[in-house]
Structure formats: C-alpha cells, structure tokens
Structure 1
Amino acid sequence: MTHKPAQSQPYPGATDQMTPRPRDEMADYTGSGLLAGRRALITGGDSGIGRAVAVAFAKQGADVAIAYLSEDADAERTAELVRAEGRRCLLMRGDLADEQHCNDVVARTIAEFDRIDVLVPHAATQRPVTDFARLDTEQLTRTFQVNVFSVFWLVRAALPHMPKGGSIVITGSINGLRGNKTLIDYAASKSAAMNLTLSLAQHLMDREIRVNCVAPGPVWTPLIPATLGTDAVEGFGEQAPMGRAAEPDEIAPSYVFFASNRLSSYYTGEVLAPTGGEIQAG
C-alpha cells in the first residue's frame, strides 16, 4: 500500500505533478484482439482512468478518439501510448459542458473513423463543499452540465453512427450509489448518470446497442489533488476496505469487459462497481 501524501495542484490537474504518479499506462496488460477493428470515443481520456481505458482499448485493437478539457501534455502522452500499439488516436480539446462542443467531438470522430463502435462518456468534474448552503447554482449547473448533460448530448449525437453490436460504457461512482456529505452535487450527478444507464439500456435494446456502467470507488487520478484540497488528499482511499485507493490500471479492464461483445454480449443495464471491497445493499 502506498500512502498518498498531502498535496494539491490547480484544476483540472496534471499527472506529472502527482506524488506518487498513478499507474495508468497499462504497462503489464496484454491484449488479445477483443476490440480488433473497433473505433472508440472516450471523453476525459487524457489521464487517470480515461488514459488507462484508452491504452487498454488500443492494446485490444481499437482506434481511439479522446476528448479532454485542457490537459495538453497528458493528452499527448496518452496519444503516444495508443499510437505505440499501432492504432490511430484523435485528440480533441474543449469543454464538454458546451452542447455544441459535444456535437463537434462526435462529428470529428466520425470524420476520422467513419463510425463509433464504443462510446465511453467518462469526463467529470467535482468540487467539495463543507456547508450545503454554500453550494451555489453556478457550481451545481456546471457539475450537471459536465457529468450528466454531456452524456445525453454525446449519446444523442453518436447514436446515428453506432452500428448493431455497439457498446456505451458510462462512468458512475461509488458516490452515486451511497452519496457523499461533501461531494453533494457530484454524487447526485453520478446517480443521475447511473440511472441514465438503466434507461438507455432498455431504450436501445431493439437496436442491439448495449449500455452499461462502471462505478469505481476511490481511484488515484489527477482530479483528486486538483479538487479535494490538501487535507483530504492525505491518505486518500485508505477508508476503503482494502485500505488503499485503486490505480487506474486496475479499473480499465472493467471497461474492456463491457466494450467487448465476446465477453459481455448478455450484459446491458448493468453497474459494475470496483470499490475495493465496499459492499452495497440492494
């Protein structure tokens, strides 16, 4: 177990400023052609879980388009890792809180790749509050624009370009399952995204497009030191039953599982929760 020391950095965070560096490059992962010839769009794919998913997909044979906010160095590193696997990588910078940008991300992906076989709306934002009365409308609106509205916009724009056998993998959170006293708007937004998974799974059944969700527990990514504050980062994740936060490399295989028809053809409307042993009722 690696103890996370107190630290902070400006939002949205950068991998090379973290101590310790997260394990997010899938260095020990070997692909087996599960996504050969597939084309994927991953938002928030520049670092953390998104980077690990992008590299895992590439190692499984997929071309990858990545949308990210402004973390250019992280995005370029992820693209380098994808291309090292002999796969194409498209990088798209911009704010997914903007509906037109979401439409543009899909349009650019289609222009480059012709179709989208796997859509991973992963980008998210969070900011803790210690007093509910201080959670203003501006923060609430932005949280839902990034974490929920962008999922709606991306799925709506992508669906005309997704063939039968396509897969949508939405990112939820342990906080969407059991709430969080300081990440109130974030937890609510993740609960909404997870419920959207269930509704879309039913709605798209006839089109043979599967919709599932990965809802991780604490994961060591740049978003943590960039949003939680120095004191909260100290010992991050040690409250989990396993006594530590996950590494992004440990979460990415869940996305491969849902993306691959060979592995999960009978799965839709499911929530997979890699939480380090935290048991959820229901």
Structure 2
Amino acid sequence: MNLLPQLIKNKTALCCLIIIAIIIILGVLAPYIAPFDPNKIHIMHKYAGISAVHWLGCDHLGRDILSRLLYGIRATVFLSLLTMIITIVIGSLIGLISGYHRGKLDECIMRLCDIMLSFPSQVMILAIVGMLGVGIENVIIANIVVKWAWYSRMIRSSVIKYSRKNYILFSRAIGAPPAFIIRHHLLPNVMSELVVLATLDTGWVILNISALSFIGLGVQAPTAEWGLMLSEAKNVMVQHPMQMVFPGIAILVVVAAFNMLGDCLRDILDPKGQKHE
C-alpha cells in the first residue's frame, strides 16, 4: 500500500510531516544556519532579552538560545530516531524469528519478553542508567533494552497471523527457504504496523531523553539539548520565564507532530478500526 498519496490527502498528516521535515532539515543544517557557536560563553550577554542580534535571547552564560535550539535538534531528535531504528531492527528480527519458527525457541524468547515487560519502563530505564552510569550513550542503551521486547511481541503476533495465509503455506509447500519467506512475504506485511508503532513511540523516546537530561542523567553540559536547556533554566523560571518557554515549545511541537502523525497513519492503515470508534 502506497502511503504517500494517502498522507498528502490527510491535512493533519501532511502538516505533521512538513513540521518534522523542517525540524530535521534545521538540525542537519545547524552548523551553517546557527547565528552563534552554541557553547561559546558571553558573560556580558547574560540573560539578554530578545533582540535583532539574539532573536530568542541568551541564557545564564550568555549563549545564544536560538543557536542552542538548532543544535539541540541533533541531541534530542536525531538520537531519538537512532534509538528507534536500533530498537525496531532488534525487536523486529527477534519477533520474526520467534513467530515463524515457534517451538522451544519461541517459548524462551516470549518468557524473556514477559520478564522485560513485567517491570515499569521508567523504573527500568532509571535502573539501567544507574548501573551503567550517566551519559547519553547509556540512555540510548536503556531505551533499547526496555522497548525491544514490546516490539518483538507485537511483530510475533502479526507474523503468526500472516503465517496462516495461503500464499505463505504454498511457499512452504514448494520448499521456499525461511529467509525468503520472511523477507518477501512476512516483512512487507508487518512493515505498515511497524511504521505506525515506531512513529508513535518516537515521541515517547524524545520525552525520555529530554526528561533524563533534565534530571542530569542524560546529555551533559555544555552540549545543547532541549531537556538540558530546561534544566538549566528551571532555577530562574520566575525571574526569566522565557528561558524555559522556547525549549519547552520545541519539545511540545515535535512530540505532538510525531504522535499526531502516528494517529493519522493508524487511521489510514486501519480504516475499519476508525469506523468502529
């Protein structure tokens, strides 16, 4: 199913796609369009207000907020996308193998997934980061460890459903190798579900990375990251409230765009479910 024409017809989905595309482009071009070095300190510009030079003002160290927001896309959005890609690859591979081969291997994988899913995700992330240490690399690892089991179980359920289709039974009957069946028959069928799940979860990962940076467990200073920017501004939120407004709006817009896009994709791919609601 070609999603692009359907997305273009859906005004909400198209708007979300445009917002996400613009943010990604701004992140890629940040070194070329950012007006200042995001980490360069100008103490004389401490808490400088909005002006023609500093469009969004300066922070407690005189650093340009607009420049830090642009560079923060890389730490907040790009690392979230990287986390989702790795999680999807690991979870999908395990789910495909488990759902197709079944047997003892499937039992072992599912019991491991049950163990992983029995713990609250936020508690697991904090525990893993606490054991591995502070840093964005460990935050990414923690998010992958927490989320892969959920994807494996979801993909396994889809594989079991599609494995009973006649064309897959026919492929097995003529002796097609499992790798061929998984790659050419099962993977294309579960791909649409993967896209929806991944889009919805990207916002969740962005919030996780920002929240952990906010409490000092994620991205460390002086790296520009939206959650870290909120953390640095929280102590002066009464005297200088605008310090928190811009990174807060950035997180809100990106998370809302991914969540709304995921909802639109779900409605497009499952029109029957939309009618029953």
* TM-score, L = length of structure 2: 0.26
- Structure with higher helix content: 2
Name the larger-Rg structure: 2
* TM-score, L = length of structure 1: 0.25
